[in-house]
Amino acid sequence: MSDDNPYSPPEADIGDGDRARLLRARPSQIVQAIALLWISASLGLWAGLLQAQRGQDATDAIAVMVVETLLLLGVLTFAIWRGRNWGRIAYVVLVALSLAAFLDTWGTEQPTVDVALEAVSFVADAGAFFLMFTKPGSLWFTYTREQRV
């Protein structure tokens, strides 16, 4: 075969068309945000266990609640760690629902420990959201067709 074949395929480098992450390395803000999310979840879980312990809830129901909470948190943490935007959005929605439930019970008589645990939990969530939704943490969730970094 000769090199002057007019029907030969082009010599251009063709990319695979996959989306590329804007940042190559995970920012430390994401690691800090995930740590804050686990702190918040553990405080919220502790408050929930204290409330369930004071009530007449069955031990089986408490065990199921703990397993479900840890499983959901694990999935969301893994998604955030991998840079999936739906993970941080889902976590914001869950915290907003939790905050609404907390504010709904605001006027009722609650032990000081429960209120303090929930308040510290929401502060940790706010810190995590700040780290995930501001630069450079927010760039971890940004994809582009071309690698810019």
Give the residue extent of every domain in the chain. Answer: 26-139
Give helix then strand counts, H and E, for the chain.
Answer: 4, 2
pLDDT of residue 15: 58
What predicted TM-score, i.e. pTM, was given to this entire model? 0.73
Average pLDDT over residues 73-85: 91
Evaluate if residue 127 carries a pLDDT over 80: yes
147, pLDDT greater than 50: no
**Are 42 and 69 within 8 A, CB to CB?**
no
Residue 48, pLDDT score:
76
Q: What percent of the chain has pLDDT over 70?
A: 83
CA distance 3 to 45: 70
Confidence of residue 149 (pLDDT cuts 50, 70, 90): very low
Q: What is the pLDDT of residues 101-121, one digit of tens each?
A: 888 877 778 778 878 888 898
CA atoms of 79 and 91, how far apart (whole Å): 10
